């Protein structure tokens, strides 16, 4: 008997893409109306809603009256929903965002009858290594996906294994998520077409039923589908309609011999469209900012605020997760779609920032207004440099930052602000208008300390913290009115107390708070009594062409590149060589013009010393390049002969105590159709790189597996760092990189500017990825393009270089707030929150949770970022710890007396709730 066939009616719903969200939603409502009507009219009909709850939520917002109908179909088994909130691009968000996506999707599905327990990932552009562990630790045993599976899989299923050893049985949609549609093209010929398809793919199925995914993008199945299939079904080939869950659980074998470990980024059975990693740089940067802001907001809210801000945090998370959709943050949509994603990420950041600032305001209320509070979002103590605005000291006066314990640290003066804010001359009749600028005591963003009113002259003296007594605006109005009665010219002068920017070193406890006050130093600084380094760090210094801090050294070459020397003597030469080339590709795939022109040598180089220490040393290198203005208007395989001089500023910085060199690049983009990359040459060629992201450090080679119809360019993503040989680059957003020159260097993409969603004829991709729709905004013309990263020269590998901790330090600045208590009071003592110790431990989340019958608690999610595992020690004000799964369900509880010891296996993700 020939294999039976199981048809899975479904659609794939890109929430926004070549049309903006609301346009697609209008289609969605019509499509789901059809699905509900079809299912209610035919009890044998089944439908799978694409694995994402966003489509369901978007529908019910427009059709709230259909909620009960939808619930009835879910509970009756005709409609499969969940488990995700959105079908995401897994490489362009954090691992924590992936977890929250699953949590929010699962919870939303539970309210409507329950989630499909399948990790359905139909159209993502590759899959992260730890996805099997994420699914398994949420209790999900099966996955189903298409892109990225290697050629070693010759069946329709495999065991997908995460680096920690977790596995999920994975249904391989080897012909895509619409393989059943070709069979349905001629309804009267379904039986014949199905037979031919089954015969062509027989080696894939073995004895299992043929899976026919009957659906595609943005369309409901034909209401007559069930009738067509009943007519085509016969004794020789049984045809069943099922949800994807029913197919996997009821129709196929669980025993699968093929095993694939780690990430799925092969091109062999489908395009993975790697160019999305670098197009529309701004979206990747805004995603990283939003994720960091909500992470900090949750940590501060959990540890320092009693206010329940969960509605704002949920709103922010929802908008972040919506934006991770695989046609959203990737930037492969139209300009109006990308604008919408950018606005949504901004909203998420704003909501999270409000929670963060409100939480920080609670301890700031205990700090005098002439002092500052610093909050450390990371669960380990550190000394951070913060810039603060201070009263400029008189010439020759030394300032120091005094901590709560009386210790003092020297500060570095950065700049002074002008003291004259306005100098105006006016007729006496206009004096009253000046008073309209004053709001109670505020003027020009400062407070009026005092004023001087003499014939023909009114002088305001402003201060951040007034030293004089109360200010009465009504008295001032009366005095000005009397003075204005005498005609004549008046001078109105607004003076601010002399202000300066100071760089202050602050030692902050783990997840903790520390206050300081900057004041004249009239005594020798006292050595801190707690949390102080054992030895004083060497100062940061700089000359015209060198920078050093005793740990790393930088020499600026004549061509503007950097020679860096690390703590262990490792030397990286020529760091920062910029190479600009043409790009005739699209938002999905890079493609060089056939007659490319590479520009790598500047026409002019200038070097400017900005700061020479002792806490921070900075130099700005400006290189001018002649970049072609675009591709030729007549020939896309040729760059235009016209060029535009483009200055690229590179800020090079070393800070006291840091074993890495901070680098920032900035330029005004005036060219179209090009790709710019920053090169980090290696002392010796390598064959392997390693990059960190989504709870893992993934090793990759010099090539990628091809075979489908997409040239396998070996460009890869890095979320927090990329390491190759003796170079380790810390990044602050999802960044595209490639090992170039046969492994002789790392190239980081700073900009990829293109003008179309997809191009019909692409030299490195056989089929269009979408329609050829213009996307001029993806050229970033007239935009200032900025990137920041740091380079660690070290021959000890990424673990020896402590890259996991350094990346967290680099990406997560401390938070600073001005105190709001009366000036002159005592600083409150430093306060510590949760502390986590352990080698290569990543803490991805600390947040408040309601918990179970034990009451509210603080949830901590950790991951062992190594192949040997690690022991994490968690300390703080708690007496009990409960291990929970990734959906928050309790697994085991443990009393705690003196901290919590967690033995984590290799690459293990562990979540605990402490109370």
Contact 353, 298 (CB under 8 A): no
Q: What is the CA radius of gyration of the chain?
A: 31
Burial of 522 (0-12, 13-18, 19+ CB in 10 A): exposed
Whole-number Å distance between alpha carbons of 261 and 161:
5
Query: For residue 796, how many C-alpha atoms fall within 13 Å in the half-sphere facing its CB?
Result: 11
Is-cis flag, bond preceding 614, omega within 30? Answer: yes
Identify the pLDDT of residue 394: 83
Q: Indicate whether this model's pTM tops 0.85.
A: yes
Low-confidence ranges of the chain (pLDDT < 70): 1, 235-237, 522-536, 852
Whole-number Å distance between alpha carbons of 763 and 593:
9
Identify the pLDDT of residue 235: 53
Contact 721, 691 (CB under 8 A): yes
Identify the pLDDT of residue 815: 98
CB atoms within 10 A of CB 712: 18
- Of the candidates 80, 58, 67, which has an alpha carbon nearest to the alpha carbon of residue 10? 80
Sheet holding 674-681, edge to edge: 577-582, 674-681, 745-753, 735-740, 716-718
pLDDT digits (tens, 9 = 90+) for 844-887: 999 999 876 778 999 999 999 999 999 999 999 999 999 999 99
Instruction: For the chain, give the number of residues.
Output: 915
Quickly tell me which residue has 């509210």 as its tokens.
856
Identify the pLDDT of residue 393: 86
Outline where 76-224 has alpha helix (H).
95-110, 131-136, 190-200, 202-205
Identify the pLDDT of residue 233: 86
b/e per residue 395-421 (b: at least 16 CB within 10 A): eeeebbbbbbbebbbebbebeeeeeeb
Q: Which DSSP state fits 783?
A: P
Identify the pLDDT of residue 465: 84
Q: Which DSSP state fits 280?
A: S
CA-to-CA separations, 208 to 4, 155, 249, in angstroms, rounded: 8, 10, 12
Identify the pLDDT of residue 536: 65
Quickly tell me which residue has 């709850």 as its tokens.
53
- Of the candidates 676, 786, 800, which has an alpha carbon nearest to the alpha carbon of residue 732? 786
Query: For residue 663, how many C-alpha atoms fall within 13 Å in the half-sphere facing its CB?
Result: 30
What's the token pair of residue 521? 């130093």
CA-to-CA separations, 415 to 280, 393, 506, 607, 614, in angstroms, rounded: 35, 12, 19, 19, 15
b/e per residue 90-114 (b: at least 16 CB within 10 A): bbbbbbbbbbbbbbbbbbbbeebbb
Q: For the chain, what percentages of helix, strand and coil (3-state, to nearest 5) are there?
A: 25, 35, 40
CA 200 to chain centre: 43
Handedness of CA 778, 781, 783, 786 (dihedral sign): positive
Whole-number Å distance between alpha carbons of 658 and 379:
18
Contacts of 183 (CB under 8 A, 6+ apart): 190, 193, 194, 197, 212
CA-to-CA separations, 221 to 21, 178, 188, 446, 833, in angstroms, rounded: 21, 11, 17, 64, 54
Quickly tell me which residue has 């002792």 as its tokens.
614
CA-to-CA separations, 707 to 146, 275, 715, in angstroms, rounded: 15, 18, 16
φ/ψ of 288, rounded to 5, equals -65, -40
What's the token pair of residue 709? 């119809």
Outline where 306-387 has alpha helix (H).
310-323, 335-364
Identify the pLDDT of residue 254: 79
β-sheet bridge partners, residue 433: none
Outline where 223-309 has alpha helix (H).
225-232, 244-250, 281-304
């Amino acid at each position: 008997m020939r294999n039976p066939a199981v048809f899975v009616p479904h659609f794939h719903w890109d929430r926004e893409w070549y049309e903006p969200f609301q346009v697609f939603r209008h289609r969605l409502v019509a499509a789901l109306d059809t699905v509900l009507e079809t299912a209610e009219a035919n009890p044998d009909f089944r439908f799978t809603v694409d694995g994402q709850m966003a489509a369901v939520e978007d529908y019910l917002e427009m059709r709230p009256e259909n909620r009960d109908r939808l619930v009835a179909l879910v509970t009756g088994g005709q409609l499969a929903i969940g488990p995700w909130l959105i079908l995401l691009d897994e490489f362009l968000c954090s691992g924590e965002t992936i977890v929250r996506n699953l949590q929010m999707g699962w919870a939303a599905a539970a309210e409507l009858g329950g989630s499909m327990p399948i990790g359905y990932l139909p159209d993502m552009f590759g899959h992260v290594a730890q996805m099997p562990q994420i699914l398994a630790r949420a209790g999900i045993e099966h996955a189903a996906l298409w892109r990225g599976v290697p050629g070693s899989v010759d069946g329709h299923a495999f065991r997908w294994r995460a680096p920690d050893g977790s596995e999920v049985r994975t249904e391989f949609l080897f012909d895509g998520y619409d393989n059943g549609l070709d069979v349905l093209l001629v309804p009267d010929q379904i039986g014949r077409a199905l037979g031919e398809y089954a015969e062509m793919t027989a080696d894939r199925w073995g004895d299992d039923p043929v899976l026919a995914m009957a659906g595609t993008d943005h369309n409901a199945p034909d209401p007559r589908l069930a009738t067509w299939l009943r007519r085509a079904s016969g004794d020789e080939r049984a045809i069943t309609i099922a949800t994807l869950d029913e197919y996997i659980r009821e129709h196929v074998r669980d025993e699968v011999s093929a095993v694939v470990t780690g990430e799925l980024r092969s091109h062999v059975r489908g395009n993975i469209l790697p160019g999305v990693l670098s197009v529309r740089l701004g979206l990747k940067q805004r995603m990283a900012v939003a994720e960091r802001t909500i992470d900090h907001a949750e940590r501060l809210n959990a540890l320092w605020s009693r206010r329940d801000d969960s509605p704002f945090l949920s709103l922010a998370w929802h908008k972040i997760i919506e934006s991770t959709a695989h046609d959203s943050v990737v930037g492969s949509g139209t300009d109006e779609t990308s604008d919408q994603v950018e606005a949504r990420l901004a909203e998420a950041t704003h909501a999270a920032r409000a929670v963060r600032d409100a939480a920080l305001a609670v301890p700031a209320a205990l700090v005098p207004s002439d002092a500052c509070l610093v909050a450390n979002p990371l669960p380990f103590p550190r000394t951070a440099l913060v810039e603060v605005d201070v009263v400029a000291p008189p010439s020759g006066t030394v300032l120091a930052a005094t901590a709560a314990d009386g210790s003092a640290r020297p500060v570095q003066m950065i700049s002074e602000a002008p003291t004259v804010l306005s100098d105006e001359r006016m007729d006496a009749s206009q004096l009253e208008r000046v008073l309209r600028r004053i709001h109670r005591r505020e003027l020009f963003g400062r407070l009026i300390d005092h004023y001087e009113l003499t014939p023909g002259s009114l002088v305001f003296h402003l201060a951040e913290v007034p030293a004089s007594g109360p200010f009465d605006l009504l008295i001032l109005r009366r005095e000005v009115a009397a003075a204005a009665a005498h005609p004549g010219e008046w001078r109105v002068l607004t003076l601010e107390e002399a202000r300066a920017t100071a760089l202050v070193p602050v030692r902050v406890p783990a997840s903790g708070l520390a206050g300081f006050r900057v004041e004249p130093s009239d005594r020798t600084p006292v050595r801190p009594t707690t949390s102080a380094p054992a030895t004083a760090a060497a100062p940061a210094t700089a000359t015209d062409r060198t920078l050093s801090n005793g740990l790393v050294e930088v020499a600026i070459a004549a061509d503007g590149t950097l020679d860096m020397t690390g703590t262990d003597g490792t030397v990286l030469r020529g760091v920062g060589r910029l190479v600009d080339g043409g790009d005739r590709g699209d938002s999905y795939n890079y493609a060089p013009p056939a007659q490319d022109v590479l520009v790598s040598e500047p026409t002019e180089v200038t070097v400017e010393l900005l700061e020479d220490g002792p806490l921070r040393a900075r130099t700005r290198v400006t290189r001018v390049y002649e970049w072609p203005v675009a591709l030729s208007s007549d020939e896309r395989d040729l760059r235009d002969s016209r060029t535009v001089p483009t200055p690229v500023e590179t800020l090079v910085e070393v800070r006291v105590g840091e074993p890495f060199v901070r680098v920032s690049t900035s330029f005004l983009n005036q060219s179209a159709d090009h790709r710019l990359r920053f090169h980090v040459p290696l002392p010796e060629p390598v064959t392997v790189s390693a990059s960190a992201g989504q709870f893992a450090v993934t090793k990759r080679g010099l090539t990628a597996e091809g075979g489908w119809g997409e040239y396998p360019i070996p460009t890869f993503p890095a979320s927090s760092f990329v390491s190759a040989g003796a170079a380790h680059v810390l990044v602050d957003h999802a960044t595209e990189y490639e090992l170039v020159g046969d492994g002789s260097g790392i190239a980081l993409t700073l900009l990829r500017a293109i003008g179309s969603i997809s191009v019909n004829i692409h030299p490195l991709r056989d089929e269009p990825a979408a329609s050829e729709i213009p996307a001029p905004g993806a050229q970033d013309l007239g935009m200032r393009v900025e990137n920041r990263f740091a380079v660690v020269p070290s021959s000890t590998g990424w673990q020896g270089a402590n890259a996991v901790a350094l990346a967290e330090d680099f990406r997560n600045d401390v938070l600073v707030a001005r105190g709001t208590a009366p000036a002159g009071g005592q600083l409150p003592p430093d306060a510590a929150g949760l502390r986590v110790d352990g080698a290569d431990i990543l803490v991805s989340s600390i947040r408040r949770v309601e918990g179970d019958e034990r009451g509210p608690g603080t949830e901590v999610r950790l991951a062992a970022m190594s192949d040997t595992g690690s022991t994490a020690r968690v300390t703080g004000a708690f007496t009990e710890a409960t291990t929970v799964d990734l959906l928050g369900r309790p697994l085991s509880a443990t009393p705690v007396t003196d901290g919590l010891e967690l033995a984590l296996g290799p690459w293990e993700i562990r979540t605990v709730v402490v109370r």
